[in-house]
Amino acid sequence: MEHHSKHGQWSSQWAFIFATSSAAIGLGNIWKFPYITGVNGGGAFVLVYLICVAILGVPIMIAEIMIGRRARLNPANAMKQIAIQSKCRPQWGMVGGLTVLAAFLILSYYSVIAGWALDYVVQSIRGSFYLANAEVVSQLFNNLVSNPWRVTFWHTVMMLSIIVVVTLGVERGLERSMRYMLPSMFVLLLIVIFYAIHTGFFKEGFEFLFYLKFENLTSQGVLIALGHAFFTLSLATGSIMMYGAYVPRYVYIPFAAIMITLADTVTALMAGLAIFPIVFANGLEPSSGPGLIFQTLPLAFGHMSFGLFFASLFFIMVVFAGFLSAVSLLEPPVAWIIENYKLKRSKATLLVGVSTWLLGFGTIFSFNIASDFKLLGKNFFELLDHVTANFMLPIGGLLIALFAAWKMKKSFVIEEINHNQGIAYQLLYFILGYITPIAISIVLLNSIGLLAIF
């Protein structure tokens, strides 16, 4: 076994926790979580999401980091190598391949949405939101997404910057860019929460987020909550396994996984607390969809002192958070190409980057010229998001869990969990081996109507 990945290594346990938290915390927390919570009726949805994060997310994250560190290769080759060493079929590598494909597909729309946020940085600096009302703000959003040229420009800027960072490689490129990001993000979210309290509708926002109204929850909602737990923790996309490949030996993986999950979850809940009071204070609909944060936050910033300054800073943070996640989405396909086709990092990055950029047009056009082009009632963006987050990720996660619990050599797991066979180890086996496969199968089968449990 190699002791270092050929792509580099994190400099310490906290560097790894920070890096992986920054990869995990992204548009999923600030953009997606609030809007899907809004669409799916609030509290009960949030509860299912939290349960999925705690019970399914943490163990799968541990499994992914473990596999990544053990093999120190890209996800497809990592699973293949460990399968061979554990005397099972090398085809398990295809599971890693599936996750790499999911990363590629997700990145194509992720960069477009991060591009929207980039446009909002410029609009904030220009003062477009100053004293704007709900109508003006939603007009500003529509002007942006209905203009394919403008969105293409920002999508291109995003993809180019991601390509540059990934070309530079792990330590030089990534660690440096994230040191200040997370702390500033927390502070800015707190500022918006203070504003949200000041609107007088904090209670309504809080209740929407935490009061359990099970009548609002549908089987699709449960599926979306499950998919989002994977999406927000960057699971089953190769991203965590890839970052795991750079983890030093002395890091205690369960601790790291719990810290990363906590940071991610707290950020999502803070985003919810920041956004929903503003929604209710302005008579907006929580279920307005992907434009939610772009139609609510400017209202807050437009009416607070130093709003222009905070708005610029906030959207810069959103861009940054999105950017670091995007970097972690590009990394698995790039490492996969480097290892399998012996291409140079720069060439592989360019190849994947340009392909993702092209695919991104599907999402760009979903909000303008191709908005009526629908399959199964969904436009291209919705379909891509649905297939990746709600099917590819849970299925990938299920297979990773089965692999770690039933296929991977026990001695490998014991070594990766610091030679400790105590309660954490037992629990891990039980959850990965039984709970995860059963729970994911039930939710999936139920959502496609093959089981009618809820």
- CA-nearest of 153, 158, 162, 145 to 363 is 145
Binders of ligand PHE among residues 89 to 148 (CB under 6 A) are 103, 106
Site for ligand PHE contains 404 (CB under 6 A): no
Among 234, 265, 388, 436, binds ligand PHE (CB under 6 A): 234
d(C-alpha 300, C-alpha 24), whole Å: 26
Site for ligand PHE contains 27 (CB under 6 A): yes
Q: How many helices (H) and strands (E) does the chain have?
A: 23, 0
The conformation of residue 92, written as its DSSP 8-state character, comes to G
Site for ligand PHE contains 231 (CB under 6 A): yes
Site for ligand PHE contains 57 (CB under 6 A): no
Instruction: Name 206's bridge partners.
Output: none
Binders of ligand PHE among residues 242 to 301 (CB under 6 A) are none
**Minimum Å distance from CB 234 to ligand PHE?**
3
Could you tell me which stretch among 22-30, 61-69, 145-153, 186-194 binds ligand PHE (CB under 6 A)?
A: 22-30
Site for ligand PHE contains 24 (CB under 6 A): yes
Q: Which residue is nearest to ligand PHE (CB)?
A: 28
Instruction: Name 5's bridge partners.
Output: 8
Neighbours of 366 (CB within 10 A): 25
d(C-alpha 282, C-alpha 262), whole Å: 31
- Site string (326-365) toward ligand PHE, x via CB under 6 A: --xx------------------------------------
d(C-alpha 72, C-alpha 328), whole Å: 16
Site for ligand PHE contains 237 (CB under 6 A): yes
d(C-alpha 372, C-alpha 125), whole Å: 33
The number of residues that bind ligand PHE (CB under 6 A) is 16
Using an 8 Å Cβ cutoff, are 33 and 228 in contact?
yes
- Whichever of 308 and 324 has its CB closer to ligand PHE, that residue is 324
Site for ligand PHE contains 43 (CB under 6 A): no
The conformation of residue 238, written as its DSSP 8-state character, comes to S
**Minimum Å distance from CB 416 to ligand PHE?**
21
Measured over the CA atoms of residue 100, residue 106, residue 108 and residue 114, the dihedral's sign is: negative
List residues binding ligand PHE (CB under 6 A): 23-24, 26-29, 103, 106, 231-232, 234, 237, 239, 325, 328-329
